[in-house]
Structures are given as structure tokens and as C-alpha cells.
Amino acid sequence: MFWYDHDVGGWGWFAMSVGMIFFWAVIIALGVLLYRALARPGGSDDRADARPLEPIPEQILAERFARGEIDEDEYHRRLTVLAKPTGDVPRPGRH
């Protein structure tokens, strides 16, 4: 009979199964990559919770005050020095 001569053998079924698994793996991987590309935030600079890489001097001073390394008077004194423009910073030893 004509339709029984063109049967797929054992290796044919194996190759077809592996090909189907590979096909769906590629489709799913493309879907995941597309989703991740579209769902990614605009960038690290656009995030509202992004913190600067290096803390600003006022933050360091506030942390030292919070840890108790400096007292309130020294905190306020140093904070006023930091708030002054760069040209008005007094030099050590000169008043």
C-alpha cells in the first residue's frame, strides 16, 4: 500500500521532537528578551530612588552627628562652614 511506505522512523521522531523543543525554546526566549527590553526603566539616572555614588559632605556630617561622633555645636559649626561659598572658607591658623 502506498501510504505505509513513507513512515517516519525512530530517528525521525527523535529529530522532530528535538526540533519542536528547540523551536518553542527560541520563541519563549525571544518573548522574554522582548519583555525585558520593553519593561526596563529609562535608566539608572531616571530612577527616583537612585542615590549618588558618593555621599555629599552634609550627609557625612549628619551621619557622624547621628552616630554621636560629634556634638551638636560642632555639627552646626561645620554645617555653616560647608554652607559658605568656596572662596570664604577660613584657612587653619588664620582668623
pLDDT of residue 4: 59
Distances from the Cα of 78 to the Cαs of 55, 63, 91, 95, in angstroms?
16, 13, 13, 16
Rounded-to-integer distance, Cα 27 and Cα 21, Å: 10
pLDDT of residue 14: 87
pLDDT of residue 40: 77
Domain boundaries, the chain: 8-39, 57-86
Residues of the chain with pLDDT under 50: 1, 44-45
pLDDT of residue 85: 78
